[in-house]
Amino acid sequence: MAILLNYQGHDSTPWAEAFADMLPTIPVHIYPHIPNPLDIQYAVVWHHPHGDLINYPNLKAILNMGAGTDHLDAETELPDVPIVRLLDPDVGNDMAQYAVYWAMHFHRRFEDYRRQASRAEWLSHEVPRTAEYRVSVMGLGLIGTQIARRLALSGFKAQGWSRTEHRIDGVDTFHGSSGLQQMLSATDVLVNCLPLNRQTRYLLNSETLGQLPTGSFVINVSRGAVIDDDALIALLNSGHIAGAALDAFVEEPLPADSAYWRTANVFVTPHISGSTYAKSAARPIADNIIRIEQGKQPFPIHIPPQTT
């Protein structure tokens, strides 16, 4: 038995060290240095090369090293084994902090004060009560639910939308197409937490974004292709949307010629809203490997969209 480890584009060594501590009896092989593919029973991967995972006939599970599964969903062929998403409380906490920070930034008009300070201008602005400021989360999965709860705890009027009905204490929830329209029309800040799949690609387009009230804001902590960039930029330039904090893009790093760099009141961050820390994130992955070895179900199982 052995683990295939590949944190593509990052240093896999801290993960290998963490698994050596947590699972000392299971060898860890960092891709592409795999002595014997027959030994591999667990693939712990992030953006692993397409088509490679079918080369391990004794694989028991694929354990994703992040919350986003779009790279795995794009595979044309995968082994018939469970795909397990990463549920790391530290990642969810970071993403919730990111959303709360930007919601506060937009609500309290801190960018206006920053600009005024550069002109030595002393001028205060009235803002709505926090409890009246409507911050809506699209996508109520594990991360979206955590963000919505944190927004509610921060005093905002927290709202959330999902395709099917969800109930979250302290959060007004909506579902379905009619629910989406109802929520968008009553939103001051929209937080995108949707996964990227065939149903969500460019779901936030000129029609849906146009349903937001004039002067609203957008935060994206999910995937870039959920948003139609041309539509968002047009709405920003027209003033219909007053600003955006964007952490994910169709192409990363964001090209230097992207209009987002030059659009007023757009704040670009390099996909850092939720950082993955090996010391904390390795623990739930190791626990799931132990669960599988004990004949138990890992959690949370991911079901690719094409199989639903």
Instruction: Please state the domain extents for the chain.
Output: 2-88+276-307, 89-268
| 60-70 mean pLDDT | 92
| 220-237 mean pLDDT | 98
Rounded Cα distance between 10 and 147, Å, is 26
The answer to whether residue 223 is catalytic is: yes
Q: Decide if 2-88+276-307 and 89-268 have a common fold.
A: yes
CATH superfamily, region 89-268: NAD(P)-binding Rossmann-like Domain (3.40.50.720)
| Percent of the chain clearing pLDDT 70 (strictly above) | 99
Q: Say if pTM beats, i.e. exceeds, 0.95.
A: no
The pLDDT mean for the chain works out to 96
Q: Taking 60 as the threshold, does the pLDDT of residue 281 lie above it?
A: yes
**With bands split at pLDDT 50, 70 and 90, how would you rate the model's confidence at 299?**
very high
Query: Which tens digits make up the pLDDT trace of 108-164?
Result: 999 999 999 999 999 999 999 999 999 999 999 989 999 999 999 999 999 999 999
Classify residue 194 as exposed, middle or buried by CB count within 10 Å of its CB (0-12, 13-18, 19+).
Answer: buried
Q: Which of 29, 85, 149, 223 is catalytic?
A: 223
| 212-229 mean pLDDT | 98
Query: Which tens digits make up the pLDDT trace of 149-194?
Result: 999 999 999 999 999 999 999 999 999 999 999 999 999 999 999 9
What is the full DSSP assignment across 190-256?
Answer: EEE-PPPSTTTTT-BSHHHHTTSPTTEEEEE-S-GGGB-HHHHHHHHHHTSEEEEEE---SSSSPPT
Q: Taking 50 as the threshold, does the pLDDT of residue 51 lie above it?
A: yes
Rounded Cα distance between 277 and 19, Å, is 13
Q: Residues 172, 178, 182, 188: is their CA dihedral positive or negative? A: positive
Third-level CATH fold of 2-88+276-307:
Rossmann fold (3.40.50)
pLDDT value for 308: 40
CB atoms closer than 10 angstroms to residue 73: 19
Q: Taking 80 as the threshold, does the pLDDT of residue 74 lie above it?
A: yes
pLDDT value for 87: 87
The answer to whether residue 271 is catalytic is: yes
Q: Taking 60 as the threshold, does the pLDDT of residue 306 lie above it?
A: no
pLDDT value for 18: 97
Q: Which of 109, 175, 271, 302 is catalytic?
A: 271
In three-state secondary structure terms, 126 is coil
